Structure 1
Amino acid sequence: AILGLAWSIGAVCESLHTAQYLVQSLQGAISPVWLPALTTLTAAGVSFAIGSSWGTMSILMPLAVPLAHTLTAGLGAEAQQFYLIATLSSVLAGATFGDHCSPISDTTVLSSIFAGADHIDHVRTQLPYALVVGAVAWLVGDVATAFGLPVWAALAIGIALLGAIVRIVGKPTPRFSESA
């Protein structure tokens, strides 16, 4: 049912020529360097709002491809390929992130049910972790690599940052005891 609705929304976007409108509106207004980072934020917002990563992907993929193609038209083939792949992966990453954080997502609801936890408590406890990891991934993975940081360096910096955050902010958990 969710995929059917998503395909319907995709068909409406196609009928309204949404991709062409976006291309005309954003051409010259944003640099291709910012396209992957902005795409991640857009996908995360849409996915959080509708509670479906698959729905978000089916809505945004037909919009992201022509947008990436047009915004990178004056660049070389290697740069075009880089920004296209980065933009498409940003749709996937943002959609997955937004779905994970969304309280109306089917996976979030099922996780809380099967964990035997109150749904809102489950969302409240998971959201801080997801937001920290999402922010580090966005800053190091999208923004920094768009400005030339090698992917291997971004991965190492991201791991180091998350490790430092856990070390500084994290608190030890009490030891589990069978007798308790």
Structure 2
Amino acid sequence: MSRSKAKGTEDSKTRSLREHHALHPHPENVHDEAFQQHEFLDPRDRVQVRYEMLRRHRVERKPISEVAKSFGMSRQAFYVTDALFSEHGIPGLLPHLRGPKGAHKCTDEVLDFVEQWKPQGKETLVEAIRRRFGVTINPRSIERALARRKKKRARKQQEMQG
């Protein structure tokens, strides 16, 4: 069974791996013999690749430089992966999403304030938010948060209607 798909199509496993942030960005760099010979081992599965890399070193006692190379990683990446696995187990093999998870300053309370805000004198909306909530928010971030909120409300209303 071949893992390659026609250009533009994506199988359910690839979609699932992508949704869970476990899709290996460069499966073509995994040259480990077992991944070439066994269908069970899938170079697209980042967690499986990392686990097998560690197993190859820890259990089979293969040298780190050899193992890292055959799995398409640097020695430094191996050491980071090993430390994360030692500390967290399998969850440590999942990639860490970087950056804030959403508009953390644009809370519902701030957005409620923005929707009800009326300019008073020369004070801008950004200044009013800073004075009231103690946070500085870029005007464009406010616009995007309001647009998301508007879409969310429209989606809820549409669900209720039909």
Which bracket does the TM-score occupy, shorter chain normalised?
under 0.3
Q: Which has the higher helix share?
A: 1
Name which structure has the greater RCO, CA cutoff 8 Å, separation 6+: 1
TM-score between the two structures when normalised by the length of structure 2: 0.26
TM-score between the two structures when normalised by the length of structure 1: 0.24
